[in-house]
Amino acid sequence: MGFLDKILNRKDEPVNTYEEFWKWFSKEAKNFNRVIKSKERVLEDFINPMSEKLNELGNQYYILVGMLDEYTVDLVISAEGFVKGVVFVEELINSAPVIDGWQFTALKPALDIRDVNISMDGYEFVSTKINFYSNDNPDYPDEIDITVTHDDLTEENKNIIVNGLYLYLDNYLGELDFINKVDQLTVKTPAEAERDLIPIHKLKDFLNWRMKEFVEKYEEVKYDNEDEMFTLLEASLEDEYPIIAMVNTEALKWESKASHPWIAVLNVKYPGVNENGLPDEEVLNELSKIEDQLLESLKNNDGYIYMGRQTAKNERDIFFACREFRKPSKVFYKAEQEYQDVWEINSRIYKDKYWQTFERFNIAE
């Protein structure tokens, strides 16, 4: 066993904070630098120990690494498009110390289109093969909906081409801009295109223009909850289990929904005490505590609209419409960690500018 193996196989204390992670990393930085520079045993001696330590922090982190120049390693930590993970990646990198021979980057940066050349399963993802056009829907004027085409797309290779295009756009636009600026994405063959194709190198300018319009339209918009009213809805599912929902009726009538484009949902699975799938009084009180904690952290005046809750079949969903996704990611993660030993609890955060999530309640005028 070599010197590096001895270093990497010693038992380290688990890391629980960003500070502890970077303290551990600083001790190994010179050895890791040599591994990356040599291009030998990168998986065994860098990726694996790094992944293990990152997993101890409790969030999803993905590693991209290469040489920036002869002496400096470029380490990119990515969330791989998972919205909930963005804030934790940013916090981790923002807390990084200055370490000689290293550059740290949060999320995949945007690249010059001439530098984005990806090969996957025998297919090339380059600008000469990829085009796009915008799908404009008068019912959803603020939605940025694009169709992307690839010259080699067929029904047989669709999964490969779609995955490759997402990877291409992630690198071309940059991870954060891809998340923020593209609302809907469809992939088609050039023959299926319903509008004139636009070269993909013009996509950045198009998205920047659309986002500028969007920001100018909504940056001063605030939700007034003074006359807020909630409606209690009761129904039966197809299997005859009851479903009860309490919905923010007034918010669903609001004309500026797109100003709060992110829907955050906390899902809690509770014990099946009652045969009808509804919580008993004890469980109901505990669920109310969780909901109160969320409401205390995510306030209307700060850009987070409480949309209500839905309860059925031993599950409760708690809904918020949000101006941004970073704080809800942290608040929901805290709730998941606090109650993970008591409940099966998880969350979702996704973009839905016109709140189509709530159309199933069918109560807005």
Q: What is the CATH number of the domain that holds 301?
A: 3.30.70
- 102 and 170 housed in the same domain: no
Q: What is the mean pLDDT of the chain?
A: 93
Last residue of a domain, one of 59, 80, 106: 106
Q: With 60 as the cut, is the pLDDT of residue 187 above it? A: yes
User: Mind listing the pLDDT tens digit for each residue in 279-323?
Assistant: 999 999 999 999 999 999 999 999 999 999 999 999 999 999 999
Mean pLDDT of the region 24-50: 96
Torsion of CA 134, 353, 317, 269, to 10 degrees: 30
Distance, CA of 298 to chain centre:
18
The letter for the amino acid at 192 is E
- 90 and 160 housed in the same domain: no
Between 17-26, 236-245, 338-347, the lowest mean confidence (pLDDT) is in 236-245
Question: pLDDT value at position 228?
Answer: 86
Domain extent, residue 152, equals 113-218
Handedness of CA 94, 99, 103, 104 (dihedral sign): negative
Question: pLDDT value at position 167?
Answer: 95
Mean pLDDT of the region 236-262: 92
In a domain, 317, yes or no: yes
How would residue 8 be classed by pLDDT, with cut points 50, 70 and 90? very low
Last residue of a domain, one of 53, 83, 106: 106
Comparing CA positions, the residue from 246, 257, 239, 232 lying closest to residue 317 is 246
Question: pLDDT value at position 289?
Answer: 95
The CA distance from 245 to 230, in Å, is 10
- 330 and 263 housed in the same domain: yes
128 against 240, higher pLDDT:
128
User: Mind listing the pLDDT tens digit for each residue in 79-137?
Assistant: 998 999 999 999 999 999 999 999 999 999 999 988 899 999 999 999 999 999 999 99
How would residue 2 be classed by pLDDT, with cut points 50, 70 and 90? very low
Mean pLDDT of the region 15-26: 96
The letter for the amino acid at 242 is P
Question: pLDDT value at position 142?
Answer: 96
Comparing CA positions, the residue from 67, 164, 156 lying closest to residue 121 is 164
In a domain, 46, yes or no: yes
- 131 and 182 housed in the same domain: yes
Query: What angle in degrees, to the nearest 10, is found between the helix axes of 326-339 and 281-297?
Result: 150
Q: With 60 as the cut, is the pLDDT of residue 266 above it? A: yes
- 357 and 241 housed in the same domain: yes
How does DSSP classify residue 222? -
The CA distance from 136 to 198, in Å, is 15
Q: With 60 as the cut, is the pLDDT of residue 5 above it? A: no
In a domain, 223, yes or no: no
In a domain, 245, yes or no: yes
- 76 and 152 housed in the same domain: no
- 341 and 249 housed in the same domain: yes
- 245 and 313 housed in the same domain: yes
Question: pLDDT value at position 11?
Answer: 60
What's the total number of domains in the chain? 3
The H-or-E segment that residue 246 falls in is: strand 242-248
- 87 and 144 housed in the same domain: no
Question: pLDDT value at position 363?
Answer: 57
Is beta strand 145-150 parallel, antiparallel or unpaired with respect to 184-188? parallel
In a domain, 224, yes or no: no
